[in-house]
Structure 1
């Protein structure tokens, strides 16, 4: 037996009527007090701190790249475009300053207890108190057979290049100890240098400069760089710079393989070379105590400074390009302000430093035989004692700070050593500039972009901002030269169209109006010239028989003029 359930229709109708009434009440209530509910909801959801969080002006100033001068702009459209671009630049600077919150890494330094100095802390103590990953960065390579060694890090700080004086060259990823290549060039090596990527490096050998790939295969032999001593590389200009035993300074563009300049410095043997990373000016130290600043555009030095009374041994310029450190054989280390070319501080060290290097955070490292000293902020303040001191078993040949790492690499007579220097490297890197963890595809894209944005060697000057300035003196000088040459300068009134509204003063319309005036002036000039020629050729109307090309002789005859007419006896 099946059971069926039936609904009571009367109860269903009653329920539907109640639902309709409730809905009508809700609609009426919503329409009557909609504004009250909105006010209450807005009050409940109102933010006590409306708008974006304020950004400190100091952080915004760090990310600004200057501003445009709009006072001399008369074109309305151009001025509007400049104003909109300026707003975009300000927004970009504000966003960059706001996103500094995501930079979690911070730079730290050693802090000693009361009555203790930081230079008394040894590397073994630092290694025992850091994490395992940082402790692995302190290591030593014993290579006694082919030393002393020159060394160089890549721009992203991932790869290391070693070059022994007796021909040993090795390239490897120093953090993981993965070897890229290892060769022996069978002749003396004076210096080594990475190029724009870790795929190529240059080696200054006994006679010439050779270029190899990361597998140790020889790519080029640069015979115009004869007997090279030191190498350097300008990454934004793709220029390989070398100094020779004969006193020449060579510039080579590696992107096109063209020799840009070969300058005779007249400074004998050039074994001291450094670059200013701010303006790409090369600095050379000479035996008479002078430091010269060079550009590939001039055969003479831009600046010559007498820094020491004896020969220069080492030069270093900080990242900002404001301060320069030099050391001479007189046993002094001096700090100069490049803006004024005047000395700021002078340090007396135990012996003349043979190597000087600045870190990304402003630390200065100096080597005195087998002693390595690190100074903290020596440019702005006089340091009474070093920040760190490290003693080697053999004399140091070269030193260099690893980018984005608290590591100092030391090339010794018997190999290579890497020590920990807290606070030396920049804690946060720019992945668009130099990314230590980039892949192969990212490296290819970066290389293409860098080639497209390559700066021409003609733009290397002491003041990089001079390129964007307008040379107003040149026009005045040209006018003055013309006046001296001709004795006078003809004043020509230039037609300036009147400014019209409603788009009639666009650049095209102004040029059309100027061309119309120019054509009318040219037409008037042609008419005047034609009238003058017509007057000369036409005969006068009062004497029909007169002819300017004939003259009358004795007998009343008219004879045509010729070259012998002056010997004929006239009437």
Structure 2
């Protein structure tokens, strides 16, 4: 039972634990600071956090939608249910969403859904691009590029999308107009978009991972992975870390603030075919060319379970509710609770005869799985795959044009910097408890002062020795005479101090008064 102190006193609720942030043993507290102003600000943040947890816990009773899965009776198995049987059992609106596009000429097709799940972007390998509102059946734009298409990706919303073509990567708007040709992104095979940072990440045959800020047009970083061509790429939605799979079976984790991999995992014996990370960022599924499918715990980088596929898997995807979808050959296999325990039988199976599956993607907030294959695009009904209770202030699948514009402006104003991407996103905003230990004590300040006086004593006047004045030294002196840096300023200050000490020593030897006495009491204060 959680206990929080709100405006009306102490409030106890049983369901507050699920709404708390995963900060572990650390809790933000004002006792770590001696600054009164900072302490007041931290106390205010703590109170806002407690009120937010109580508000979320008190509104849980309003979330009446439950995730519904297939349930078998008696000796039945859920993976034996066919799509035709499911269509006849569900309501008419859900049945209409199971569209099947027959596109035999320009396949195989890769696909992507917008963040709110309202729009579908398909790309045929032979140059066919189409963006549509798949729920209403409205075609927004269609392009025939006449060259190879490797990957497609929606950006912050359905108004813009990126296409990785044969050589360069292009950005188009919702009408199909070419907006940008990114010449620095060459031979790209994989695209990922980081919505909270407005970064487009690309990787491909060149072995480089590049981050492009689509709001400013700046190339944030260009990282040479040194792992050869990239065969698989996915982002971790929890911390925006990019996972890359290479031909050596290594999965590496990357951030734009570092040119070296944060973590390297030897995931399989053969080349990595596909990757998938769940929404919580705790688990990762890796499919290799050695017909292996392994589940990894990303928190401690340990292998949990291992499966065997009849042929190497071509694509992996994890739904919002944790259903793992695996495509191999013409088959799609869906596993339930694959991260909790070793599964003996799958949740669902589907076969697309005579077609090779290219990639699969779950529709956000819908019980639909999109499958792109060599003969078109098919939507499969997967009960329990979609998030039943969505936050309309975060992503709204029923937003109007005005709401979409306001959301885009708000997200641009709240855009996170690229260097804030780290393995632990909760690290940002925490208090460094070591700061008190790093502060200098009065004894340390006295030691530093005595060290400065010792250094001044060591600075004795040297004899004025004339060095050789060669042509090379004159050339270098003339070349560097207008260059001002810290080293030059420090040397000039030391030379001036030596000159003054030498002049004072000469006056004492000759019995002359010091310069301060010559200036008199009125002018010596300006010396």
TM range (shorter): 0.7 to 0.9
Q: 1:491 to 1:110 in 2, by over 3 A?
A: farther
1:100 maps to 60
Deviation readout 1:171-210 (Å, 9 max, x if unpaired): 0011111110111111110000000011100000001001
Alpha-carbon deviation of 1:547?
6.4
Looking at structure 2, the residues matched to 478 and 69 of structure 1 have their Cα atoms a distance apart, in angstroms, of 20
Deviation readout 1:436-471 (Å, 9 max, x if unpaired): 111111111111110111011111111122333455
Looking at structure 1, the residues matched to 225 and 54 of structure 2 have their Cα atoms a distance apart, in angstroms, of 46
Deviation readout 1:343-393 (Å, 9 max, x if unpaired): 011012222211110100000000011110000010111111100000012
Task: Work out whether 1:458 is the aligned partner of 2:416.
Answer: no
Task: Work out whether 1:437 is the aligned partner of 2:398.
Answer: yes
Looking at structure 2, the residues matched to 79 and 431 of structure 1 have their Cα atoms a distance apart, in angstroms, of 34
Query: Residues 55 and 97 of structure 1 are in contact (CA less than 8 Å); yes or no, is this contact kept in structure 2?
Result: no
Q: 1:83 aligns with which of 26, 43, 47?
A: 43
TM-score of the pair, normalised by structure 2: 0.80
1:187 maps to 147
Q: 1:472 to 1:548 in 2, by over 3 A?
A: farther
Looking at structure 2, the residues matched to 131 and 97 of structure 1 have their Cα atoms a distance apart, in angstroms, of 32
1:249 alignment partner, SS class? strand
1:244 maps to 204
Looking at structure 2, the residues matched to 87 and 549 of structure 1 have their Cα atoms a distance apart, in angstroms, of 73
Task: Work out whether 1:211 is the aligned partner of 2:171.
Answer: yes
2:186 alignment partner, SS class? coil
Q: 1:81 to 1:340 in 2, by over 3 A?
A: closer
Deviation readout 1:129-175 (Å, 9 max, x if unpaired): 11111111112000000000010000100000000001100000111
Of structures 1 and 2, the one scoring higher in RCO (CA 8 A, sep 6+) is 2
1:415 maps to 376
Query: Residues 113 and 363 of structure 2 are in contact (CA less than 8 Å); yes or no, is this contact kept in structure 1?
Result: yes
Looking at structure 1, the residues matched to 236 and 40 of structure 2 have their Cα atoms a distance apart, in angstroms, of 38
Deviation readout 1:13-61 (Å, 9 max, x if unpaired): xxxxxxxxxxxxxxxxxxxxxxxxxxxxxxxxxxxxxx99986433454
Looking at structure 2, the residues matched to 146 and 491 of structure 1 have their Cα atoms a distance apart, in angstroms, of 79
Deviation readout 1:466-511 (Å, 9 max, x if unpaired): 33345567998999xxx9xxxx85579xxxxxxxxxxxxxxxxxxx
Looking at structure 2, the residues matched to 419 and 360 of structure 1 have their Cα atoms a distance apart, in angstroms, of 16
Looking at structure 2, the residues matched to 112 and 404 of structure 1 have their Cα atoms a distance apart, in angstroms, of 24
Q: 1:69 to 1:415 in 2, by over 3 A?
A: same
Query: Residues 64 and 90 of structure 1 are in contact (CA less than 8 Å); yes or no, is this contact kept in structure 2?
Result: no
1:548 maps to 511
Query: Residues 63 and 96 of structure 1 are in contact (CA less than 8 Å); yes or no, is this contact kept in structure 2?
Result: no
Q: 1:395 to 1:55 in 2, by over 3 A?
A: farther
1:235 maps to 195
Q: 1:362 aligns with which of 294, 303, 322?
A: 322
Task: Work out whether 1:257 is the aligned partner of 2:220.
Answer: no
Q: 1:469 to 1:371 in 2, by over 3 A?
A: same
1:417 alignment partner, SS class? strand
Moved more, 262-271 or 278-287: 262-271
Q: 1:448 aligns with which of 373, 392, 409?
A: 409
Looking at structure 1, the residues matched to 271 and 436 of structure 2 have their Cα atoms a distance apart, in angstroms, of 44
Runs of 5+ consecutive residues of structure 1 not aligned to the other structure: 1-50, 493-532, 541-545, 551-571
Q: 1:161 aligns with which of 90, 97, 121?
A: 121
Deviating beyond 6 angstroms after TM superposition, the runs of 4 or more aligned structure 1 residues are 51-55, 472-479
| Structure number with larger C-alpha Rg | 1
1:198 maps to 158
Query: Residues 63 and 97 of structure 1 are in contact (CA less than 8 Å); yes or no, is this contact kept in structure 2?
Result: no
TM-score of the pair, normalised by structure 1: 0.74
2:229 maps to 269
Query: Residues 159 and 172 of structure 1 are in contact (CA less than 8 Å); yes or no, is this contact kept in structure 2?
Result: yes
List aligned pairs for 1:104-503, cutoff 5 A.
Answer: 104-393=64-353, 394-470=355-431, 489-490=448-449
Looking at structure 2, the residues matched to 175 and 413 of structure 1 have their Cα atoms a distance apart, in angstroms, of 23
Task: Work out whether 1:57 is the aligned partner of 2:14.
Answer: yes
